[in-house]
Chain A
């Protein structure tokens, strides 16, 4: 089996596992599965409870429930939130765009600046400026994203009044949304830069000890030229998969940042559903986030096999 097929198989297995886990969790946890499926906010009379039980198929044997569950997942039916009176899939769909609006620019900025700065820091290890950079990003790296956003919010919005305190928009114009998004994106980018910085720095540290780098130096190339012409590409290769794996973590960072900035995205959806124990929304969001992370991984793998000739030839 070729590596690409193997990866694809593993992605599919991971998806299968997650969907099954989502089926198992509410049914195996302590308490009534009906409550676990509907959320603790839904108050039911005895009659409607038994009616719902048969409607949701909870009185069927488990394997039939499982098949029915897969059928509903495949038709994008993630259940109904009795707390918010809306179907979970439409809720997630309406929130998702805001999360993506926050995550996509910051992740791209993080990937670009993180790798370049990290590459430089690894290349010139020990030199003054790079030490300061490394120390700075190490500090950011060690700070939970929500605390970082709290600090930024306090400093820039609360004390200096440069940015709005909460929310996504007040008038809805493009400039207004951009103004609201500026600070969260900044914090998120810092967070994502710090992670990519550390990874890239380590990769370049290893790469610059290799023979071809020594040869390039012997040939008379200047430092930065060796870095950006030769080492950078090679150091970047293993990074692609690592960045993809990190995506899940950075994405959950976005959720926390949203909570602090009171943005109406997935993060706050998950937080609210936690507070009201609205399990369908919680599970649906978990499923969607996981699928996105797995897809990102798959995409990175495909890119990887396109970029790396050693993989292409296999």
Chain B
């Protein structure tokens, strides 16, 4: 699943070496060039600004999923583990009917948002942290450090993650935080590459040179001068990582490798698929969880998309 994070629309500084060198060459000129691009970086990437309609839609959708996950105990009409009459079609007692065990599907759905969001954000936090750290170090120090770190990144990038996670999960019978940990450890690669190419640009700017000549330590420069200026790249990357981790979690639970002690959307579809819900046409069993997966992923992607588009808007032909 390496490619999911490698999406073009999420970054202008794409990972290929050629692109990076092309851009580096453009930013070496000191003075005005610096000022212009600094200006662009500082302009409200996080302020209210012009957040487009799709972005707004994504935010609203996401907030509703977040509410659903955090107050699931209050919103859900009943306990998702309690058993009623099985195979009830949607009706007044049970809005979305019941499954083969008689669990209320609406409640299952609401409780399922928890795993999806926790795994998504947990994995994305870890992978963004790792990716940012590795990208910063390799972009700032260049040379041998860069060679080694980027070599490792390339190797990790080539290994297909989903099959690897399937194999590991088959042996480990994991809990959902273990899935998040595995995903996070495997997905830092593309973030690292983007961060590296941005760091390569920024380290040549004159204000970094200034800090260096004033005798600040490398680590200080990296974290207080370089990092704030690449933050606007990290955020969309982070959101994309959340989305891919959510899809991966759903896929793993669809294979029946998820955490059996938690309700999750992927697992609901799996049960519907393996226990005859699909063949018998009980659409209320597998359609809602599938839509929830798509919508939650969509909400996160739309937010990242909006951030990225706004970034493109401010970019002009120099």
Contact = CB atoms under 8 A, between A and B. Distances in A.
B26 to A, nearest CB: 11
B140 interface: no
A143 B269 CA distance: 13
Contacts of A237: 16, 18
A290 B158 CA distance: 8
Interface residues of B, number: 62
A81 interface: no
A310 B4 CA distance: 27
- Secondary structure at the A interface, as helix, strand, loop or mixed, is helix
A293 B1 CA distance: 11
B256 A275 contact: yes
Contacts of B149: none
A246 B290 contact: no
B160 A293 contact: yes
Contacts of B295: 142
B278 A202 contact: no
A17 B159 contact: yes
B243 interface: yes
Contact of B14 (A203, A297, A308): A203
Contact of A3 (B17, B163, B269, B298): B17
Interface in A282-304: 282-283, 285-286, 289-290, 293-294, 297
Nearest to A288: B163
- Secondary structure at the B interface, as helix, strand, loop or mixed, is helix
Contacts of B10: 202
A274 B158 contact: no
Contact of B254 (A17, A138, A201, A256): A256
Given A147-B290, A238-B16, A289-B160, A13 B8 contact: no
Interface string B298-316: 1001100100000010011
B35 interface: no
A210 B154 CA distance: 28
Given A151-B290, A242-B8, A17 B155 contact: yes
B163 A286 contact: yes
Contact of B298 (A142, A209, A275): A142
A18 B159 CA distance: 8
B168 A25 contact: yes
Contact of A138 (B255, B283, B301): B301
B163 A274 contact: no
Contact of B251 (A144, A246, A248, A294): A144
B2 interface: yes
Contact of A36 (B168, B171, B256, B317): B171
Contacts of A158: 281
Interface in B1-47: 1-4, 6-12, 14-19
A177 interface: no
Contacts of A203: 8, 14
A19 to B, nearest CB: 12
B294 interface: yes
B19 A238 contact: yes
Contacts of A249: 1-4, 160-162
A74 interface: no
B160 A277 contact: no
Given A25-B168, A139-B298, A277-B170, A200 B160 contact: no
Given A154-B281, A241-B16, 13 more contacts: A3-B17, A13-B155, A17-B159, A36-B171, A143-B290, A198-B7, A202-B9, A203-B14, A242-B3, A247-B3, A249-B160, A270-B163, A270-B166
6 contacts: A142-B243, A195-B4, A248-B3, A274-B166, A290-B164, A311-B18
Interface of A: 3, 6-7, 10-11, 13-14, 17-18, 21, 25-26, 29-30, 36, 138-139, 141-144, 146-147, 150-151, 153-154, 158, 195, 198-203, 205-206, 209-211, 214, 237-239, 241-243, 245-252, 255-256, 259-260, 270-271, 274-275, 277, 279, 282-283, 285-286, 289-290, 293-294, 297, 308, 310-311
Interface of B: 1-4, 6-12, 14-19, 151, 154-155, 157-164, 166-168, 170-172, 243, 247, 250-251, 254-257, 266, 269, 273, 278, 281, 283, 286, 290, 293-295, 297-298, 301-302, 305, 312, 315-317
